[in-house]
Amino acid sequence: MRTAAPVRLHPEQRTALEQIARQRSLPARLVERARIVLRAAEGLENKHIAAQMGIMPEKVARWRKRFLEGGIVALEKDAPRPGRTRTIREPQVRKIVEMTLHQKPANATHWSTRTMAAASGISEASVRRIWRAHGLKPHLVKTFKLSRDPEFTEKLEDIVGLYLNPPEHAMVLCADEKSQIQALDRTQPGLPIKKGRAGTMTHDYKRNGTATLFAALDALEGEVISMCDDRHRHQEWLKFLRGIDSVVRDDKQIHMIVDNYATHKHPKVQRWLARHPRFHIHFTPTGCSWLNMVERFFRDLTENRLRRGVFRSVEELIAAINDYIDHHNENPKPFIWTAKAADILEKVKRARAVLNLQSA
């Protein structure tokens, strides 16, 4: 009759194994192996240990043997396993990456997993794994635009300086208008959300007029000063400036960040600003609306209140906008600007170098 090799423990080994066997934070497989060795040290046979622990005798025999050969360290390591043989070789992976980066399918603007699988002769799952490993996402595209403003650097540094180091006894306002906001009503009522089904709304709609929102976001506090009107001419912009002048304390200077829309530079606007010297206008570089943080507020307004809204009249639309802004101002949270001007300029420099290389 075959008997298992006896296990004899030194006091230090027994103490260490008992600590491992009691631990709850260690991997379960390591705890199980320590308990196997402790029972083996008590003189139990493999089949008895297996019956007590509810495992196979072969498993008990394996870890008894490994402990005798390598001690406690051997319990912490699993033997290397060969794994499945790779069916896609490295040259084929490189070919797929090369095709993704430098080629297009015959009848499309970009690759999908299906078209790449058909072109390369491998499965869609394999294409997906290769793309994920190399950080490739052909189905996504991001928009960008490099400003050609000759004063880009000066304007950028000026505005970023206002965000990162606002002047004392002054208010920095990011101002703009969101024009042509449509009061859209759906042609049929939608269905509400329920378990297993998303809410629904018709794809077509009825137009009930438009409105323009004038908004100025306090860059430091996050509060919004707003006005709704039906048009966005220089007359309405002057009306909005007067509203700002009336609500901001007289002892504060006002630094306004605006874009290069002609309304903001109208001669009558310029004359009004000359008569109100506490207003300081900072124009964003051409094509750089992303520098104006009020655009972030406009995005949130669109996503949270307007896109799925149903408005039977312009009055309903304006009421919804005002209600959203009132709720925002009850607990305002500023958008924190963190990018330094030098970092932005470095990215722009790299982008221009790449574009010049592509066009060469």
State the DSSP string of 162-226: HHHSPPTTEEEEEEEEEEEEEEEEESSPPPPPBTTB-----S-EEEEEEEEEEEEEETTT--EEE
| Close Cβ partners of 318 (under 8 Å, ≥ 6 residues apart) | 211, 228
Domain ranges of the chain: 11-75, 90-133, 157-350
Q: Spell 74-103 as b/e; 16+ CB within 10 A means b.
A: bbeeeeeeeeeeeeeeeeebeebeeebeee
How many Å apart are CA 321 and CA 306, to the nearest integer?
Answer: 8
Dihedral-angle region of residue 287 (phi above 0 means left; psi in -120 to 50 means alpha; beta otherwise): left
8 Ramachandran zone, left/alpha/beta (phi>0; psi -120 to 50)? beta
Provide the residue type at 286 as one letter. Answer: T
Which pLDDT does position 99 carry in this prediction?
95
φ, ψ for residue 211 (rounded to 5)? Answer: -140, 160
Query: Side-chain half-sphere of 226: how many Cα atoms within 13 Å?
Result: 24
Exposure of 124 by Cβ count < 10 A (0-12 exposed, 13-18 middle, 19+ buried)? middle
Low-confidence ranges of the chain (pLDDT < 50): none
Q: What is the pLDDT of residue 360?
A: 58
Strand ranges (E), 81-132? none
Third-level CATH fold of 157-350: Nucleotidyltransferase; domain 5 (3.30.420)
Closest CA to 170 of 261, 277, 264, 243: 277
289-332 pLDDT, tens digit per residue, is 999 999 999 999 999 999 999 999 999 999 999 999 999 999 99
The listed CATH number (1.10.10, 1.10.287, 1.20.120, 1.10.3470) that belongs to domain 11-75: 1.10.10
Instruction: Note the pLDDT of residue 257.
Output: 97
Cβ contact 254:175 at 8 Å:
no
Please report the pLDDT score of residue 76 as a whole number.
84
How far apart are alpha carbons 174 and 324 in whole angstroms? 18
Which pTM does this prediction carry?
A: 0.71
210, burial (CB in 10 Å: exposed 0-12, middle 13-18, buried 19+): middle
Closest CA to 270 of 243, 299, 303, 234: 234
pLDDT at residue 271, rounded to an integer? 97
Which helix or strand (DSSP H or E) is residue 59 part of? Answer: helix 57-70
